[in-house]
Amino acid sequence: MMMKNKRGWIRIVEAFVSILLITGAILIVINKGYIKTPNITEKVYDTEVAVLREIELNDELRKVVLDIPQSRLPVKWDDENFPLQIREIVNSRIPEYLECSANICALKDICGMADYIEKDVYVQAVAIAANIQTYSPRQIKLFCWQK
């Protein structure tokens, strides 16, 4: 009678230890990052940098940004004074899964979003300081988030 009970307890302990081993292995795999969730951070930042670099290197777009009078800064995305050419470049280059806005501010100013968004917001900025005729340092900040 005593031998039968011992075998049953041994089987229960063996099952418990095997469950612990399997659970431990799964937790190690998840913790090491072998199972990755899709992370779009790098793609979003690369897209933002590409758009801002295009604006930064295009002489016409630089002129548009530098021609905004200092008294009208900051220019928010929703303002009617926001340059149409900049808006078109941003809208045409941003993938469909993102929604973006931008601000143009003086270089020394803090240039934040007008509204709080309860999502992960990815931000990149570029300084546009001068062209051949004008020295008037500005920054363009691009804010993007998933739709």
Domain boundaries, the chain: 41-146
> What is the residue-averaged pLDDT of the chain?
89
pLDDT in tens, 62-120: 999 999 999 999 999 999 989 999 999 999 999 999 999 999 999 888 888 878 889 99
38 vs 23, residue with greater confidence:
23
pLDDT at position 132 is: 85
User: How far is it, in rounded angstroms, from Cα 101 to Cα 113?
Assistant: 8
Least reliable range by pLDDT among 9-18, 32-41, 121-130: 32-41
- Count CA atoms closer than 13 A to 65's CA, side-chain side: 33
Whole-prediction pTM: 0.73
